[in-house]
């Protein structure tokens, strides 16, 4: 799943923003019981590699993005949409798709020029 900042804007401005998003993600994971395999929080977008199970992905994403956006707007005295439209979800059915997706997710901070090695990036986990 990928969610991009509206008009390419940053969705994470400082460390506390990344931490809040991860806290909300952890809270919803505990509450809703979905499986989170990996994530990568980039300054302008979010990648989540998850299995929603019985939890509708749309409901999870609406709750997560709404709570984060509300907090962001209060913190930075802004208003309106933070994320660009609806998130994009890719259904993976083959092991080869899972490997490709995992490689893409882990190399994202390297391709963006943020780090030289994926292990250096703080806001990613597999």
Does the pLDDT at position 94 exceed 70?
no
Number of domains in the chain: 1
User: Which residues span the domain enclosing 83?
Assistant: 2-125
Say how far apart CA 63 and CA 75 lie, in whole Å.
Answer: 18
pLDDT at 120: 93
Residues whose CB falls within 8 Å of the CB of residue 125, separated by 6 or more in sequence, listed in order: 38, 39
* pTM, 2 dp: 0.91
User: Residue 91 maps to which CATH number?
Assistant: 3.30.70.1290
Each residue of 105-119: pLDDT tens digit? Answer: 889 999 999 999 999
Each residue of 10-42: pLDDT tens digit? Answer: 999 999 999 999 999 999 999 999 999 899 999
Surface-to-core class of residue 78, CB atoms within 10 Å of its CB (0-12 exposed, 13-18 middle, 19+ buried): exposed
């Amino acid at each position: 799943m990928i969610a991009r900042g509206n008009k390419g804007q940053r969705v994470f401005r400082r460390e506390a923003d990344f931490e809040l998003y991860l806290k909300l993600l952890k809270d919803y994971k505990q509450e809703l019981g979905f499986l989170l395999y990996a994530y990568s929080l980039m300054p302008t977008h979010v990648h989540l590699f998850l299995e929603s199970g019985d939890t509708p992905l749309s409901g999870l994403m609406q709750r997560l993005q709404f709570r984060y956006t509300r907090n962001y707007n209060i913190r930075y005295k802004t208003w309106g949409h933070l994320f660009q439209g609806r998130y994009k979800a890719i259904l993976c059915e083959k092991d080869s798709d899972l490997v490709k997706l995992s490689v893409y997710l882990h190399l994202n901070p390297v391709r963006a020029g943020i780090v030289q090695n994926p292990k250096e990036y703080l806001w990613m986990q597999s």
